[in-house]
Amino acid sequence: AKSAESTVLEHMASQIDAAKIKFDRMTAMVTAPTSYVKRGNEYTADIFIAASSEQAQIDVYLGSFTSAVEKDEFGVFKEIESADIPLNNPQKVDVAGGMGKIKEIASSTRQFQGVISLPDPIKPGMFKFYPFEFGYETFEVGEAVVSPTAMNVLYIGVDNPVKISVPGYTSDKVNASGCGIQKVKGEEYVARPSAPGIDKINVTVNTGDGTKSHSAEFRVRRIPDPYPYCGTSKGGTMRIGEFKQVNSITAQNPDFVFDINYSVSGFEMVYAPARGGNVVSDVSNTKNFSSLMDDIKKKAKPGDTIVFPRISVKMPDGTTRQLSLSFKLIG
């Protein structure tokens, strides 16, 4: 009986030892919120002994946390015991010397979530998971900033891309307002001003000791008028063969910095025969030719003049512009 009791106790003791991680390496570690510090700001770091184990059969996974990942009242991740990895789309990371290794070309802003997995030596098929998260944000070293001060122009009705950065501070410390500006990501913003004139974009940075502000002045303008087109002609002359194939009036502005879809909402066409005869006109309330305009196309001849005295174009800024177009038909 005593032998059986000793055997049970020895087995229990071995199971207790099996559940422990045997650390075989200890290293001094230093961690800091950042290694890039503005002169005059406070630098902080934590210095401690880190223990690792080359014998422990750990796996490291990256992904996004499931609802199984929780923090305690101190904001520390809780240990998870489960047969399933508590990540969405888990991706395995290389492990060397008992430590997971991540290596990539830094680009923009990156946030990582993941877990360290350790097999439960007592419960086959079960694992203990230790969640973690971290990230980084890149910045350009020695990048030249060129600002065309005579061309600080924003346009109404379009997304004006604006890049805002404050050297020495990450983008999460920077806020901007004015000109209908909205943050897209990182240092990228879009401005959507609503009224022509002079406006400002105001930038505020949280320095840790307070805030600093800066403003940049912009001229706000309406989008320039586009060019009306009948086929490929925007006035002057047009070949009779092309004119007979055209079914609508369009508006474009290939010279403008933004690619905009202009909407023709209606137009008037006047037909003046070169060899006398009645001048004929008609109105369309869409971009397409009316049936009478189609009849004019059929009987039109070289030397005749086509005039579009009123072309209504709806603009992205909510206005409607009145344009005109005329050309002489050639063979």
Whether residue 121 contacts residue 19, with contact meaning beta carbons closer than 8 Å, is answered with yes
- pTM (global) more than 0.95: no
pLDDT score of 15: 46
Question: Per mean pLDDT, which of 31-35, 102-106, 165-169, 222-226 is the most reliable?
Answer: 222-226
pLDDT score of 212: 85
C-alpha 151/C-alpha 145 separation (Å) is 15
Task: List, as one string, the DSSP characters of 134-146.
Answer: EEEE---SS----
Long-range pairs for 294-299: beta carbons < 8 A, 24 or more residues apart:
296/269, 296/271, 297/243, 297/244, 297/246, 298/244
Whether residue 281 contacts residue 288, with contact meaning beta carbons closer than 8 Å, is answered with no
* Structural domains of the chain, with CATH: 23-137 (no CATH), 149-221 (2.60.40.10), 227-330 (2.60.40)
pLDDT score of 2: 44
pLDDT surpasses 80 at 322: yes
pLDDT score of 300: 93
pLDDT surpasses 50 at 30: yes
C-alpha 287/C-alpha 280 separation (Å) is 19
Between vectors from CA 143 to CA 141 and to CA 149, what angle results, nearest 5°?
Answer: 145
Q: How many residues does the chain have?
A: 331
pLDDT score of 283: 96
pLDDT, tens only, 193-228: 989 999 999 998 888 778 888 888 899 999 999 999
pLDDT, tens only, 150-184: 568 999 999 999 888 888 788 888 889 999 999 99
pLDDT score of 13: 46
Which band of pLDDT confidence, cut at 50, 70 and 90, is reported for residue 135?
A: confident
pLDDT score of 297: 93
Residue 210 C-beta-side C-alpha neighbours within 13 Å? 2
Whether residue 165 contacts residue 141, with contact meaning beta carbons closer than 8 Å, is answered with no
pLDDT surpasses 80 at 120: yes
